Structure 1
Amino acid sequence: MLLWRIGANVLPTKVNLQRRIQQADITCSLCKSDEETYVHLFFLCPFAKAFWTTVGWGFRFDSTSLTSNEDIISLIINPTHAPIPTDQHWTITLNMALIIDEIWKTRNHLLFHGGKVDVNKAMNNARIRFLEASKVYSPSSRPSVEQSVDVWSPPPQGWIKINDDGALSNSKSALAAVARNHLGIAISIWGKEHHLCSPSQAEAEAILWAVQIAIQERWSAVIFEGDAKLCFDPLSQPDLTPSWPISTSICNIHSLVSCFVSCEFRWVQRKCNVAAHEAARFALNSYCPFCFSYGNFPPSLEAACKGDYPSVSVV
């Protein structure tokens, strides 16, 4: 929509507004040193130049002939001197469009709310949005959504799969997470007590904890899997509204997704989530939190992991 407004010459830059309503100030909202035209705001302003340089894609516009809004749209749709293979040129267009959008958002925030310009923050916002959008349009980079209905299955190479579950007693609940790699090898098993709550709340808290663990471990591509359909449906389908008791947890999980390069949430049947289920029961009977590492699992959890995926030995 932003690109359409630029192409149609209806974006309210100060120079554009001057032509319509005769406003007095036409200086750039970001640098205050030149007229706020399309070309200046998005390419020649010191903030824009710093942004394009910092983003690290080799964009240089000093020698590019940009004189109008049509030139900008043509450049974005048909980028010249793209530094990547031809079949990936669409990522250049995507990245440039997001940078333009972030510059406009920064300009509006500064104009209407004040504060200071932060190139690093703007760059990080654009980077996160680029990663999110490129995942959608890059099927080859995403693991298949198909999975076995009978047994646990390993993630693709380069990914980590974390199965989670919650368990309850009369006085408390417990959370657990089991992380495995593309070979099906269990890397670590975590568990801890949690206050007494409803089953759905325990399941949602287990997923949130699993996400926090993955962030702490600095894993960039993670599949989160569990048997709580009530929780996983609103995570895998953001248009669904979660039930009220778990809405806060689901919202917190959504807010952390940007920490990953790639992230998916999958609901599976209980028989595909045995190791996490047993770990949650184990945590329910433990007196303190635990994190068991590869090669040091208690016999019951070792057997559960092996039962989940018999093709691999866990120790």
Structure 2
Amino acid sequence: MKLKHFLWRCLQNSLPVNEAIYKRIRKGSSLCNCCGEDTETIEHIFFFCPKAQVVWKIVPVSWERITELQSNIWRWWDAVMQSAKEEQGMDRIKLTVNILWQIWKAGNKMTFQSKNVDAKLIVDKAQ
């Protein structure tokens, strides 16, 4: 249930990312806490942050066919869901949701505890 709620918040663009927090209260920074290179949006955290990109390179599921959709999490997720019809599609979807969750948790560790979580550990926890 926790992962369904998390995914729903991702798709509703309601996760407390720095961009949204900054727009609301005009305090702090809108930059990504993990890389400091770009505005922290949902798409940045999960796809464009260099740390997330390392995770996606080593995870045993490939979404290379749909990388062009990563600028919009709804379109990307719709394409992911199309794989449900394929062999082992639901397993790939479950792993993908777990990867998103572990990336989110790793980002929170960096934000609140200043602890960097290794990409391999993120993948291991998701499996």
TM-score of the superposed pair, with normalisation by structure 2: 0.84
Deviation (angstroms), 1:3: 0.6
Is the contact between residue 27 and residue 34 of structure 1 (CA under 8 Å) also seen in structure 2?
A: yes
1:135-154 aligned at under 5 Å gives the runs none
**What is residue 6 of structure 1 aligned with on the other side?**
10
**What is residue 111 of structure 1 aligned with on the other side?**
111
Gaps of 5+ in 2: none
Amino acid at match of 2:8: W
Confirm or deny that 1:88 pairs with 2:88.
yes
Confirm or deny that 1:44 pairs with 2:63.
no
Is the contact between residue 39 and residue 68 of structure 1 (CA under 8 Å) also seen in structure 2?
A: yes
**What is residue 121 of structure 2 aligned with on the other side?**
121
**What is residue 77 of structure 1 aligned with on the other side?**
81
Q: How many equivalent pairs are there? A: 123
| Superposition misfits of 4+ residues, deviation over 4 angstroms | none
- Between the aligned partners of 1:52 and 1:14, the Cα distance in structure 2 is 22
Say which SS state the counterpart of residue 69 (structure 2) adopts: coil
**What is residue 99 of structure 2 aligned with on the other side?**
99
Say which SS state the counterpart of residue 27 (structure 1) adopts: coil
Is the contact between residue 109 and residue 117 of structure 2 (CA under 8 Å) also seen in structure 1?
A: no
Is the contact between residue 19 and residue 39 of structure 2 (CA under 8 Å) also seen in structure 1?
A: yes
Deviation (angstroms), 1:90: 0.9
Note closer, same or farther for the CA distance 1:6–1:16 as it changes in structure 2 (3 Å cut). Answer: same
Gaps of 5+ in 1: 128-315
Q: Percentage identity across aligned positions?
A: 26
Cα RMSD between the aligned structures?
Answer: 2.2
- Between the aligned partners of 2:91 and 2:27, the Cα distance in structure 1 is 38
**What is residue 64 of structure 2 aligned with on the other side?**
60
